[in-house]
Amino acid sequence: MQNLDLLEEARDHAQIRETRYKQKIESHYNKRVKHESFKVGDLVLRNKDASRQEDAGNLGPKWEGPYQIAEAHRGGSYKLDDMEGNRLPRHWNAKHLRCFFI
């Protein structure tokens, strides 16, 4: 019976260590993450790899655009318009977008 009590206590200690470790890893990761946010009307470039178009090779452009932010949704997703005002067919995550400066 004493071994069973010690086993339960060992599990509790292991769970506490695991929780501390996960919190430490999370805080380390969150220090280095750069959260990008855009406002409606901002001009952005779109990553060509994310658009699933044909690859232009190593010397081809990596970004395409400019596009204008039409709608901003929760979670960092955006609807884009091209410069003629046509809406792009799907949502785009902020990690696939980059600010465009004129």
pLDDT of residue 33: 74
Question: Is residue 38 one of the residues assigned to a domain?
Answer: no
| 94 and 47 share one domain | yes
pLDDT of residue 68: 94
| 56 and 93 share one domain | yes
pTM: 0.62
Question: Is residue 68 one of the residues assigned to a domain?
Answer: yes
- Provide mean pLDDT across the span 72-94: 89
Spatial distance between the Cα atoms of 37 and 16, rounded to a whole number of angstroms = 35
pLDDT of residue 15: 97
The domain of 3 spans 1-33
| 81 and 51 share one domain | yes
Spatial distance between the Cα atoms of 29 and 88, rounded to a whole number of angstroms = 32
Which CATH number covers residue 59?
2.30.30
Tens digits of per-residue pLDDT, 13-62?
Answer: 999 999 999 999 999 988 887 777 889 999 999 988 776 666 667 777 88
Question: Is residue 26 one of the residues assigned to a domain?
Answer: yes
